Structure 1
Amino acid sequence: MSAVASNQADGDGRVTVSLAELISLRNRVARLRLPPQDSRAMRVGAQSSRLYGRGMDYAESRAYQPGDDVRRMDWRLTARSGRLHTKLFQEEREGQLLIVLDRHPSMHFGTRVRFKSVQAARAAALAAWYAVRAGERVGLMQFGSHTHLQRPRGGVHGALDVCGAIAKGDAGSSGHYESLSQALQRVNKLQHGANRLVLITDGQSSDDSAHRHLLETMRHTAVRVLIVADALELALAPPGHYPIEHDGERRTLVLRSETQRASFQQSLGASLLRLATMTKSLGIPTRTIDTAGDPLDAVSALLRDGGTRR
């Protein structure tokens, strides 16, 4: 049964994830102009071919998608199921995208429009809808205060399962805080079959070992990183009094001088900068978004052609 079929109440889309919004993002992706299918294929760890002829080994069948070659229709399965199906051959296996979503408590923060966790969820859903529209299977691995693996699955049901798992993960917690390096070790051990991976995080879960494990992941998977940041992590805060809460205690942070505000911004954005520096040293295409903007352009750039660094 799809994770979407749960009885979980929908969120508000600001502090908690709105499942209805995650599903509705499909319409936005549907309006995008995608590049030709051949140029989208990421050939990391596997080869892909559009050749068709004798000597090719049949691999599996999947639901028909617009643009599929009608000569490859699986008419027997179509007749049995009542739905159109296409045959896939060994040299033409579908790409698979694994979305790795940060669920650390640091993501539950935001001073503009929504929490980082909600913006990250929206970006993950957009990535899922983009992948299935491009003919890829899509899966999800969550880490931090919630750990979950949704193995790659094709078609609309694959994206719906990802959206449902995201909403469920937003509402629950395992109580175990997995670091980025631990999450990457789990990725590298799993037989997930993905040839592309997009990591969505605020960078605060990164640790000293993350560099080494990112490098290991890159040996068999094309890695992309989307950093989600709050406005206060990206620029100086305006002068003023800021109520904060830590370990159940509420206090007021006073930021008057430019020196105070610069020190605060540098401290708050240190993790973001550390991760961005790390991905740059490894040559990993990376984008940064804030909590108020639209993540669609950043997501589509990373998945369309590897992304441009920003």
Structure 2
Amino acid sequence: MSGLLSPSSPELKEVDFAQLGHYAKHLGRAPRAKHFALTSGERHAHVKGQGLEMLELRAYQASDDLRHIDWRVTARTGQAQTRLYAQENEHQRLLLMDLSNEAYFGTKYSFISTRFVQLAGILAWRTKQQGDKLAYRLCFGGQDIWQQTTPLLAKLFQPLSQASSIGSRGHSVSSLQILSPNLISLKARNKDVIILTDKQQLSRPETLYLKQLAQHNKVFWVQIVDANTFKLAPGQYQIKSTSDEALVNISERSSTLAQQAFLRQNQQLKKQLNQLDIQHLVFDLSEPPESIARYLLSLGAIG
């Protein structure tokens, strides 16, 4: 079995993140970028040249470069029109990761939290390899760590390693911290936003905040679940936490009810996200992290 699919420990160290770089490099090629439509006055680049892609056509403004006036359209409409361009290979990415207590669990392979951290590591490596820009906010174990400018990978891998620590399990909060007001996401514009979380309930303030985020960015919501949780054989299980151990009784009925509740909740989340034009992507824990990253690549979420 692959060491990446099923690492020897759910807690990832420096050597584990070094290994992820190889997988990031061999994901394949990204599709042609589809940039988020810019609003009037916002633009990625002012200079037209090789490697630039036209984003939109709008009415000429006094600050525009005369070289970018589309004279053919101007003549046809009678009003000066300016072409706006952006670098075809320019990707600005915002990574938001929020883990609950339940993420530090897995029936097979590893923990859900570990898979999220592996995926975040691959995304970070890929961003560096493609020369793209990355900002991030990581919420786990009561911590809120964020970086607005492209970090050194070692600076990101340190909190990611902490996020994989089982000790974070006892300090998580139920709400989505990444959807609380914060400089890094309040000012996010024209970015590919990737949300990694096992949480699947949205409060009204969180929904409103997501709506604002999706208005100015392309947002992907990535969820990882462990389907085997609902397939455990009836019986008594010993569950160990950071502080103590407990016996949990599981019956066929309790598993069925838990699965039904989960599916109802997940369908409600999907409906909410679809209404906000946010892609809701659900993967099972049995899916290797590089396969998840490759799917995000196919959607244009990463370069």
* Normalised TM-score (structure 1): 0.67
CA displacement at 1:124 relative to structure 2: 0.8
Residue identity opposite 2:237 in structure 1: Y
Matched, 1:287 2:287: no
RMSD: 3.4
Cα distance between partner residues in 2 of 1:167 and 1:176: 16
CA displacement at 1:304 relative to structure 2: 3.9
Cα distance between partner residues in 2 of 1:268 and 1:100: 23
Alignment of 1:268-287 (within 5 A): 271-287=265-281
Give the one of 140, 145, 149 matched to 1:152: 149
Cα distance between partner residues in 2 of 1:212 and 1:181: 14
Q: Which residue number in structure 1 is paired with residue 36 of structure 2?
A: 43
8 Å contact kept, 1:23–1:163 = no
Moved more, 271-280 or 118-127: 271-280
Residue identity opposite 1:220 in structure 2: H
CA displacement at 1:122 relative to structure 2: 0.5
| Cα gap change, 1:152 to 1:276, in 2 (>3 Å) | farther
| Cα gap change, 1:273 to 1:23, in 2 (>3 Å) | farther
Please give the per-residue CA displacement for 1:205-249, whole angstroms capped at 9, x wherever unaligned: 64343322211111112111110112245x543444333468846
Please give the per-residue CA displacement for 1:81-132, whole angstroms capped at 9, x wherever unaligned: xxxxxxxxx9549322111111322221111121111111011111222223
Q: What is the percentage of aligned positions where both structures have the same residue? A: 18
Alignment of 1:93-172 (within 5 A): 94-144=90-140, 145-153=142-150, 158-171=152-165
Q: Which runs of 4+ in 1 moved over 6 A?
A: none
CA displacement at 1:250 relative to structure 2: 1.0
Residue identity opposite 1:40 in structure 2: A
Q: Which residue number in structure 2 is paired with residue 197 of structure 1?
A: 193
| Cα gap change, 1:285 to 1:182, in 2 (>3 Å) | closer
| Cα gap change, 1:242 to 1:218, in 2 (>3 Å) | same
Please give the per-residue CA displacement for 1:121-156, whole angstroms capped at 9, x wherever unaligned: 011111222223333112220124221002231xxx
Residue identity opposite 1:226 in structure 2: V
Instruction: Give the secondary structure class of the aligned counterpart of 1:40.
Output: coil
CA displacement at 1:203 relative to structure 2: 1.7
Cα distance between partner residues in 2 of 1:215 and 1:169: 27
1 or 2 for the larger relative contact order (CA 8 Å, sep ≥6)? Answer: 2
Q: Which residue number in structure 2 is paired with residue 263 of structure 1?
A: 257
Residue identity opposite 1:250 in structure 2: A
Matched, 1:241 2:236: yes
Q: Which residue number in structure 1 is paired with residue 20 of structure 2?
A: 25
Cα distance between partner residues in 1 of 2:264 and 2:272: 12
Q: Which residue number in structure 2 is paired with residue 78 of structure 1?
A: none
